[in-house]
Chains A and B, each alone.
Chain A
């Protein structure tokens, strides 16, 4: 019997391929070749690496190819360790847990043309999108790939380059391209996107400032801070029995904060109706939000999956 809940999709590394410019392609699949959870073009997944690191990578295969997840990883010797672990320690046959895919582009029938600008390995999310639109022929796609000299994933890009979908700009020969020229003027039928180093994204945001926000898609290597309810405030949980203190970030659930703090709470629905995560409270002003406790019960208990706090400090019977 497993004591710990299963929180990741179990995958096996079925292929590792050198892809040029210090980049390797990793193919992950279900151990029994079952379809994997579906994803949108340009989506990304978290990899839970054997050394305990959790790192996010874009999927570069297309959604129709849902029996595998393909990620391209550039080895960053001076990085935080995720790419080194993948390049140096992970082999075919290794088991890696991954998150459900997140993000990506919701194809919009009103968009007839996509213009993407990618810097180096920032090509990965757009590779998935370009393949998707090339196959479905739903829209025209141009992907401008800006590299210094050597191109990552050259073998995988060659057919897209031949088709004119991918245009390569080598800064060592031509200098940096004019992003305003690549992007063109705002057009309701055109969507533009960018992924690359922060300086490129800043330039891109400057030249697309006049575009409607819904027609501009930016992918950052480092995830932006999560969108938080502007009224949400952080608070502190004091644990009366164990004596500990747990900090709950603005917008975080009490349950997530307690779990981060190593406190194991039984849960089931995580939506405030099943009653599994009922915890006693002693002092403070809880905001209940559940649909299971009676007014009388709320005087002593709260449901940690949905409850918040109106006071800076909330004392729990834990």
Chain B
């Protein structure tokens, strides 16, 4: 289970509407995609939670203030690639962007307390993945890139 070929790679990309009903779909899609890596149940849960947080952020914060044009719907691009036991997930929106990424990533910080956002989104991504990077340009959008190496327990 642990001696998978390090050179083995796989890749997939999804483009979907930024609507909350796609939160479930996107995390399940990633969970299905990563089954080839023989993950543990906990690893699958970790990745699903992280994906859910990133996608929810894109919907609520990325596109939360953007008026949705009837013809051009807001989209989220989710890209996944694996190499050996490593999975890399990128969640990208073309929303408002984040002014202060460092502050946005602080636990409990939220710009939307009225929506009862707990401010734990980035903290959960960081807790459940090995690495989280956020690239954001105000007015252009945000890209969250997360990585995790599976099978650490067997080393």
Are A and B part of the same complex? no
Chain A residues within CB distance 8 Å of chain B: none
